[in-house]
A and B are shown apart, each in its own frame.
Chain A
Amino acid sequence: MIEVKNLTKHYGITVAVKDVSFSVKKGEVLGFLGPNGAGKTTTMKIITCFMPPTAGTVEVGGSDILEDPLSVREKIGYLPENTPLYSDMTVESYLNFIAEVRRIHPRDRRERVNRMIETCSLKGVLKKDIGALSKGFKQRVGLAQAMIHDPKILILDEPTSGLDPNQIIEIRKLIKELGKEKTIILSTHILPEVSATCDRVIIINDGQLVASGTPEELQNRAAGESVIYTTVKADAAKVQTVFTSLGWVKKCSVESKQGERARFKLLATQDVSDPTEQLYDIAVKNGWMLSELYRETLSLEDIFLKLTTS
Chain B
Amino acid sequence: MTVIRAILKKEFTSYFVSPVAYVLITIFLILSNWLFFNTYFLDEQASMRIFIARLPWIFLFFVPAVTMRVWAEEKKLGTMELLMTLPVKDYEVVIGKFLASFLFLLVCLLLTLSVPMTVAYTGDPDWGPIIGGYLGSLLMGTAYLALGLFISSMTENQIVAFILSLLVSFLFLIIGENFVLYAIPDWLVPLFEYIGFGSHFISITRGVLDSRDLVYYFSFIFFFLLLNVKAIESRKW
Residues of A within 8 A of B (CB): 45, 48-52, 70-71, 73-74, 76, 78, 80-82, 84-89, 93, 97-98, 100-103, 145
Contacts and interface: CB of A to CB of B under 8 A. Distances in A.
A52 B88 contact: no
Contact of A76 (B78, B79, B85): B85
B110 interface: no
Of A74, A89, A97, most B-chain CB atoms within 10 Å: A97
Identify the 10 closest CB pairs spanning chains A and B, nearest first: A84-B78, A100-B6, A73-B87, A48-B85, A84-B79, A74-B87, A80-B81, A101-B6, A97-B10, A70-B87
B53 to A, nearest CB: 36
A78 B77 CA distance: 16
Contact of A50 (B14, B17, B85): B85
A52 B234 CA distance: 11
Nearest to B81: A80
B198 to A, nearest CB: 37
A102 B81 contact: no
B233 to A, nearest CB: 10
B236 interface: yes
B85 to A, nearest CB: 4
B3 interface: yes
B87 A51 contact: no
10 contacts: A45-B81, A73-B87, A74-B87, A76-B85, A84-B77, A84-B79, A88-B17, A93-B13, A100-B9, A145-B82
Interface string B186-207: 0000000000000000000000
Interface string B1-43: 0110111011001100110000000000000000000000000
Nearest to A145: B82
- Chain B: number of interface residues, binned into ranges: 20 to 34
A48 B82 CA distance: 10
A52 B236 contact: yes
Contacts of B236: 51-52
A101 B5 CA distance: 9
B89 interface: yes
A101 B88 contact: yes
Contacts of B9: 97, 100
Given A50-B235, A88-B17, A103-B2, A70 B89 contact: yes
B9 to A, nearest CB: 8
B21 to A, nearest CB: 11
Interface string B56-93: 00000000000000000000011111101111110000
A98 B3 CA distance: 10
Nearest to A88: B17
Interface of B: 2-3, 5-7, 9-10, 13-14, 17-18, 77-82, 84-89, 235-236
A45 B13 CA distance: 29
B235 A100 contact: no
A300 B30 CA distance: 66
A35 B173 CA distance: 52
Of B2, B3, B86, most A-chain CB atoms within 10 Å: B86
A80 B82 contact: yes
A201 to B, nearest CB: 24
A45 to B, nearest CB: 7
A90 to B, nearest CB: 9
Contacts of A52: 236
A80 B10 CA distance: 21
Contact of B18 (A45, A70, A71, A88): A88
Contact of B85 (A78, A81, A87, A97): A78
A142 B14 CA distance: 19
B14 A73 contact: no
A101 B78 contact: no
Of B9, B18, B85, most A-chain CB atoms within 10 Å: B85
Given A74-B87, A86-B77, 17 more contacts: A50-B85, A51-B236, A73-B86, A80-B82, A84-B78, A84-B80, A86-B79, A97-B9, A98-B86, A100-B2, A100-B5, A101-B2, A101-B6, A101-B86, A102-B86, A103-B2, A103-B87
A51 B79 contact: no
B18 A51 contact: no
Nearest to A87: B77
A249 B10 CA distance: 70
B87 A89 contact: no
A270 B235 CA distance: 50
B135 to A, nearest CB: 32
A48 B236 CA distance: 13
Nearest to B7: A101
A76 B58 CA distance: 45
Given A48-B85, A49-B85, A70-B89, A103 B78 contact: no
A286 to B, nearest CB: 66
Contacts of A98: 86
A85 B79 CA distance: 6
Given A51-B235, A89-B17, A102 B78 contact: no
A84 B6 contact: no
